Structure 1
Amino acid sequence: MFTGIVEELGEVVTVERLSDAARLTIRGKLVTSDAGHGDSIAVNGVCLTVVDVLDGDSFTVDVMRETLDRSSIGGLAEGARVNLERAAALSSRLGGHLVQGHVDGTGTILTRTPSANWDVVRISLPDALARYVVEKGSITVDGISLTVSGLGIGEQPAADGNRDWFEVSLIPTTLSLTNLGGAAVGTRVNLEVDVIAKYVERLQQRG
């Protein structure tokens, strides 16, 4: 379990493509400082298991085909900047919201509107996830816990086929400490909706 509060902006060191998987080596001195084999680290919002810790500042993870297909992890290349967060400790403050690290789908950055103190970023939203997203609710974008500031439906589908969209407002801290600060229009991002909404829906269906 995670909170969506990014601890460190890491870097992909190597990508080894396998027949039905990939092995990534990622540099992140902070998250690696107390990591060991079997620990969980969220990489751009995807919960991955540490295989090895290397040289005290890097770790390797294995990524199966399903994760590569369902998230943006499959598109990572050497040198890519990634958001990193260690699993939450029971004694820590819950600064964001409950995040599982299980990607529900991907969206595409449609627009960026900068202002003096923040950027408003509009992201496409898959139809299957739209019902779980509400204004002022929480959503995880590339592992970042963010508040939905706007919702809408476009007159025409976006390039990825999605008509629904949502907006988030990125404060200077988010812009400087996460990969969303430099993400351009057209960038594919991982989305995880609030798990509580999915449980409520399931309970209603079973009622």
Structure 2
Amino acid sequence: MFTGLVESLGLIESSGEDSFEVSIVGHNHDVITADLTIGDSVAVDGVCLTVETILDQGFIATASPETLAKTTLGDRDRAAKYVNLETSLRMGSKIGGHFVTGHIDGVGCLVEAVATATSWEIRFGLPTGMDEQWHSKIGRYLVSKGSIAVNGISLTIAECAPDGSWFSAAVIPHTYDSTNLSSLRSGNLVNLESDILGKYVDQLISHRLPGKHQPAEISLSFLTDNGYV
């Protein structure tokens, strides 16, 4: 479990068919490696990977075929140069972002990033030719002022399309400069993880809807009859 607050940047290189060597960039590598042990989880661009070998300034981890197929780890040519890194949440730690599992729901792409006087307004959308399961995995959970993890970064959704095909976020300069958002170019792919709390609520409500996958009007009486009030 993670919080979506990036601790460091890294460079990732393939060291085998499904193995990756992650080198931490800069002088703050101790933030990641100080108490890192074999078997620990580290979020690499939002993907939860298990540490198999510890290096002086990084680590080696293996990604499953499913992970390679469903995330940017399998298509580094269209991803950001650097990867965002975050070690797993510890009991008693502050939760400054939101609950992030490290299990990617789908891949999106950067549409545009526009600098304003106080922030960066960044829009992400559906990559061309990659619309399979986008709505069921990403689009249905896009809610204005809701949470989403982009390359492992906890972001608050500012706006989203009615059909769930895109969303935007206002990113403060600190987050933009200290993550790989600053190295993204239009069309670059990003890993997306929908809010886990939204998934649980959706699952609970779906099981109580009349008929399989049949929509129902969400009203006070509906919530009362189904035990939510």
State whether TM-score is above 0.5: yes
In the alignment, structure 2 segments of 5+ residues that lack a partner are 127-133, 209-229
User: Residue 200 of structure 2 aligns to a residue in which SS?
Assistant: helix
Q: Number of aligned pairs?
A: 193
Work out whether 1:74 is the aligned partner of 2:79: no
- Counting aligned pairs with the same residue, the percent is 39
How far apart, CA to CA, are the structure 2 residues paired with 1:171 and 1:149?
Answer: 13
Q: Where does residue 89 of structure 2 map in the other structure? A: 88
Aligned counterpart for 1:127 among listed residues 132, 135, 150:
135
Q: Where does residue 202 of structure 1 map in the other structure? A: 203
Contact 1:139–1:194 (8 Å) recurs in 2: yes
* Shift of residue 17, structure 1, vs aligned partner: 3.9
Q: Where does residue 159 of structure 1 map in the other structure? A: none
Q: Where does residue 157 of structure 1 map in the other structure? A: none
Deviations 1:70-109 (A, max 9, x none): 01111236x9311000000111110000000000001011
Deviations 1:94-149 (A, max 9, x none): 00000000000010111121112311111015322211110000000000000000
Work out whether 1:41 is the aligned partner of 2:39: no
Give the counterpart letter for 1:105 in structure 2: G
How far apart, CA to CA, are the structure 2 residues paired with 1:60 and 1:180?
Answer: 24
> TM-score under structure 2 normalisation?
0.80
Give the counterpart letter for 1:196 in structure 2: L
Runs of at least 4 residues of structure 1 off by over 6 A?
none
Give the counterpart letter for 1:135 in structure 2: S
Q: Where does residue 24 of structure 1 map in the other structure? A: 20
In the alignment, structure 1 segments of 5+ residues that lack a partner are 155-162
* Shift of residue 205, structure 1, vs aligned partner: 2.3
Q: Where does residue 115 of structure 1 map in the other structure? A: 116
Aligned pairs for 1:137-156 (under 5 A) are 137-152=146-161
How far apart, CA to CA, are the structure 2 residues paired with 1:142 and 1:124?
Answer: 14
How far apart, CA to CA, are the structure 1 residues paired with 2:200 and 2:81?
Answer: 34
**Root mean square deviation of aligned Cα:** 1.6
How far apart, CA to CA, are the structure 2 residues paired with 1:71 and 1:61?
Answer: 15
Deviations 1:173-198 (A, max 9, x none): 11110000121110100000111111
Q: Where does residue 54 of structure 2 map in the other structure? A: 53
How far apart, CA to CA, are the structure 1 residues paired with 2:58 and 2:124?
Answer: 31
Contact 1:175–1:182 (8 Å) recurs in 2: no
How far apart, CA to CA, are the structure 1 residues paired with 2:97 and 2:39?
Answer: 24
Give the counterpart letter for 1:175 in structure 2: Y
Give the counterpart letter for 1:58 in structure 2: G
Larger deviation, residues 80-89 vs 24-33: 24-33
* Shift of residue 170, structure 1, vs aligned partner: 1.3
